[in-house]
Amino acid sequence: MNTSIVMRVEFNKQKGLFAEIAGEIGQVGGDIVAMDVIRAGKETTIRDITVSIHEASVLQITEAVKGLQGVKLINVSDSTFLAHLGGKIEIQPKMPVKNRDDLSKVYTPGVARVCMAIRDNPSSVYALTIKRNTVAVVTDGTAVLGLGDIGPEAALPVMEGKAMLFKQMAGVDAFPICLATQDTEEIIRTVKLLAPGFGGINLEDISSPRCFEIEKRLKQEMDIPVFHDDQHGTAVVLMAGLFNALKIVGKLTSDIRVVVTGIGAAGVSIVKMLLVAGVTDIIAVDREGALCRTQTYGNPMWTWVAQQTNPDLREGALSDVIGGADVFIGVSRKGVLKVEDIRHMAEEPIVFAMANPEPEIDPELAEPYVRVLATGRSDYPNQINNVLCFPGIFRGALDCRARTINEEMKLAAAYAIASVVGDDERNEQYIIPSVFNDKVVPAVRKAVVEAAIATSVARRIPPEYR
Ligand SMILES: NC(=O)C1=CN([C@@H]2O[C@H](COP(=O)(O)OP(=O)(O)OC[C@H]3O[C@@H](n4cnc5c(N)ncnc54)[C@H](O)[C@@H]3O)[C@@H](O)[C@H]2O)C=CC1
Ligand SMILES: CC(=O)C(=O)O
Ligand SMILES: [Mg+2]
């Protein structure tokens, strides 16, 4: 991914040094996009040079400029880091507190009457506080993006980012909560203790298999919606892309064979959604090869998946079981899928290579052999990213005060995302709407509310349905 950096340099004007600086920047793939003169002396000048450059080359470019004779590199600022200075979100009051009268309403003594009203009628907390619009984004920092166990502090920028997107895309007030524990029971207890202030819980970047137990228990033991984004957000968006890809190749969910590789947080949820959507021929593959009900596994989720899938009891590595598959779905790691594997798939293969940041196969290698290709990346068409799901799904769940987010609501969200791509727009390069398409959140919200009402998990009927 490219970033933009600003390099403040001082150099002698007379010696053609700027050309040398520009040359070095160009050598390492940097693109000068702006330049500001900060000080222009008789002999020397100080300039801010703004450069667009691949993130991986930032160090190289600074070393190259530092190494030039007669050039002093005063400072380098990276726009990505600048965007994070002091954090990315804040709390804003809804009204100013200008005088004693205001103060006595929003705080003591007036607030006491509101507190007692909630004590007497606990459900009025939804009407009289932020609870109706709040989501806790909870992590323990153990599976952050594709970075692994980097700890709760290092996870905070991602959780702030999620909170930002919740607000910008769906008006949801989300709070980043990074827990200093990896103990399943402690996480469950802590989230339950936090619940009074929240209308929903978005679990994020908690490693598998602990994430399954944590989510299951919280769903059982709390009456607000709990949603593990890496499992279900990914599965919902993947299904949306799959529905549209199948329309392009003219195949039905009931007729396809799907190979899912990487049976972790995302993979398990994807298998569950494929089953709910009517796919019967699924082969789940992890490091040890195809999961098969003839085997026993230490991971109870693998045992469950093995029992629900692989009807022909196939065994072996990915390359042994991919022959004849209509669809490959990867949520594992870079390089797992080979061109040879794709060549053994059925006609018009569909490949979702979603490992971040590097997909299961280099898109350029795969492209000549596939009919539809999707990745998790923003620099290729068909980006599968859970940001298409979580803002709208929580907007809908909060608006109808759903007690849970069930399979029907997830499937409805997937169809809603797919429907944003019109029949006349859909093609191999466009199976999934952009994350900035403003039709996505309203479509997902509507579908989720309707599914919640239909399955009797809504505790409030929004005005438009009364
Ligand atoms: N595009 C998107 O929206 C999303 C992409 N992802 C990506 O999907 C990947 C998996 O994420 P999670 O499910 O959260 O991680 P996870 O750690 O829970 O699961 C990964 C699974 O892949 C398996 N695996 C690793 N190497 C393998 C190999 N060579 N062959 C077969 N299986 C292998 C692991 O054993 C594990 O079961 C990551 O790269 C992540 O960044 C995850 C969520 C959203
Ligand atoms: C996108 C996301 O949530 C992840 O990669 O973990
Ligand atoms: Mg995540």
Encode the chain in three state secondary structure: CEEEEEEEEEEEHHHCHHHHHHHHHHHCCCEEEEEEEEEECCCEEEEEEEEEEEHHHHHHHHHHHHCCCCEEEEEEEEHHHHCCCCCCCCCCCCCCCCCHHHHHHHCCCHHHHHHHHHHHCHHHHHHHCHHHHEEEEEECCCCECCCECCCHHHHHHHHHHHHHHHHHHHCCEEEEEECCCCCHHHHHHHHHHHHHHCCEEEECCCCCCHHHHHHHHHHHHCCCCEEEHHHHHHHHHHHHHHHHHHHHHCCCHHHCEEEEECCCHHHHHHHHHHHHCCCCEEEEEECCEECCCCCCCCCHHHHHHHHHCCCCCCCCCHHHHCCCCCEEEECCCCCCCCHHHHHCCCCCCEEEECCCCCCCCCHHHHHHHCCEEEECCCCCCCECCHHHCHHHHHHHHHHCCCCCCCHHHHHHHHHHHHHCCCCCCCECCECCCCCCCCCHHHHHHHHHHHHHHHCCCCCCCCHHHC
Which atom of ligand 1 has the smallest separation from the CA of 336?
29
What distance in Å separates the CA atoms of residue 310 and residue 263, rounded to the nearest whole number? 14
**Edge-to-edge strand order for the sheet containing 327-330?**
289-290, 281-286, 257-261, 327-330, 350-353, 372-375
Q: Whose CA is nearest to atom 16 of ligand 1?
A: 264
Instruction: Assess if residue 234 is contained within a domain.
Output: yes
Report residues near ion ligand 3: CB below 5 Å.
205, 230
Question: Is 30 touching ligand 1 by the criterion CB < 6 Å?
Answer: no
Spatial contact of 142 and 205, defined as CB atoms under 8 Å apart = yes
Is the CB of residue 356 below 6 angstroms from any atom belonging to ligand 1?
yes
- The best mutation among 202, 234, 271, 331 to test binding of ligand 1, ranked by most ligand atoms within 8 Å of the C-beta, falls on 331
Give the residue from 57, 84, 111 where a domain finishes. 84
Q: Which pLDDT value is given to residue 41?
A: 86
Asked if 254 and 178 sit in the same domain, the reply is no
Would residue 162 show up in a list of annotated catalytic residues for this protein?
A: yes
Find out whether the beta carbon of 357 lies less than 6 Å from any atom of ligand 1. Answer: no
| Pocket residue to mutate for ligand 2, from 230, 333, 384, most atoms within 8 A of Cβ | 230
* Marked catalytic residue, from 72, 107, 439, 465: 107
Amino acid 23: pLDDT = 94
Q: How far is CA 196 from CA 160, 288, 365, 405, in A?
A: 21, 43, 51, 18
Residues 158 and 259 in one domain: no
What distance in Å separates the CA atoms of residue 313 and residue 362, rounded to the nearest whole number? 30
In order along its 466 residues, the chain shows pLDDT tens digits of: 788 999 999 999 877 899 999 999 999 999 999 998 899 888 899 999 999 999 888 999 999 999 999 999 999 998 889 999 999 999 999 999 999 999 999 999 999 999 999 999 999 999 999 999 999 999 999 999 878 999 999 999 999 999 999 999 999 999 999 999 999 999 999 999 999 999 999 999 999 999 999 999 999 999 999 999 999 999 999 999 999 999 999 999 999 999 999 999 999 999 999 999 999 999 999 999 999 999 999 999 999 999 999 999 999 999 999 999 999 999 999 999 999 999 999 999 999 999 988 899 999 999 999 999 999 988 889 999 999 999 999 999 999 999 999 999 999 999 999 999 999 999 999 999 999 999 999 999 999 999 999 999 999 999 999 9
Q: How far is the CA of 262 from the centre of ligand 2 (A)?
A: 15
Do 215 and 262 share a domain, yes or no? no
- DSSP-assigned beta bridge partners for residue 78: 5
Residue 91, in any domain of the structure? no
Cα-to-centroid distance, 145 and ligand 2 (Å)? 5
Co-location of 49 and 142 in the same domain = no
Give yes or no: residues 280 and 425 share one domain.
yes
Q: Are 283 and 257 in contact (CB under 8 A)?
A: yes
Atom of ligand 1 nearest to the CA of 238: 3
**Ligand 2 nearest-atom number relative to CA 162:** 3
Q: What is the CATH number of the domain that holds 328?
A: 3.40.50.720
Q: Are residues 403 and 431 in the same domain?
A: yes
Residue where a domain stops, chosen among 224, 248, 265: 224
In terms of residue numbers, what domain contains 194?
Answer: 100-224
Do 374 and 257 sit in the same domain of this protein? yes
Pocket of ligand 2 contains residue 230 by CB under 6 Å: yes
Domain count, the chain: 3
User: Are 172 and 133 in contact, with CB atoms under 8 Å apart?
Assistant: yes
The answer to whether residue 138 sits within a structural domain is yes
Q: Which residue among 94, 105, 131, 162 is the active-site one?
A: 162
> Is the CB–ligand 1 distance for residue 229 below 6 Å?
no
Q: Is 192 a catalytic residue?
A: no
Pick the last residue of a domain from 84, 115, 145. 84
Q: Are residue 314 and residue 461 in the same domain, yes or no?
A: yes
Ligand nearest to the CA of 359: 1
β-partners of residue 257 are: 281
ipTM of the complex, rounded to two decimals:
0.97
Residue 203 lies in a domain: yes
Query: Which atom of ligand 1 lies at the shortest distance from residue 262's CA?
Result: 22
Closest Cα partner for 11 from 75, 77, 76, 69? Answer: 69
Together in a domain, 250 and 220 = no
Q: 301: CA distance to ligand 1 center in Å?
A: 15
Q: Is 269 in the pocket of ligand 1 (CB under 6 A)?
A: no
* Residue 89 lies inside a defined structural domain of this protein: no
Residue 332 domain flag? yes
Nearest Cα residue to atom 4 of ligand 2? 145
Whether residues 195 and 245 share a domain: the answer is no
Do 114 and 209 fall into the same domain? yes
Ligand number, closest to the Cα atom of 138:
3
Verify that 443 and 314 share a domain, yes or no. Answer: yes
Which CATH number characterizes residue 136's domain? 3.40.50.10380
From CA 420, how far away is CA 237, in angstroms rounded?
Answer: 12
pTM score, whole prediction: 0.91
Closest atom of ligand 2 to 230 CA is 3
Question: What is the amino acid identity at position 187?
Answer: I
Could you tell me if residue 95 is inside a domain?
no
Which residue is closest in CA terms to ligand 1's atom 39? 355
N residues, the chain: 466
Query: What is the reported pLDDT for 56?
Result: 85
User: How many Å apart are CA 101 and CA 207, to the nearest integer?
Assistant: 50
| 145 ligand 1 Cβ < 6 A | yes
Q: 383 CB less than 6 Å from ligand 2?
A: no
Exposed/middle/buried for 65, CB within 10 Å: 0-12, 13-18, 19+? Answer: buried
Which residues, 6 or more positions from 433, have their beta carbon under 8 angstroms from its beta carbon? Answer: 388, 417, 420, 421, 439, 440
What does the pLDDT read at residue 16? 85
What CATH number does residue 29 fall under? Answer: 3.30.70.1150
Asked whether 386 lines ligand 2 (CB < 6 A), one says yes
Look at residue 333 and tell me if it is in a domain: yes
From CA 309, how far away is CA 293, in angstroms rounded?
8
* Ligand 2 mean position, distance from CA 168 (Å): 18
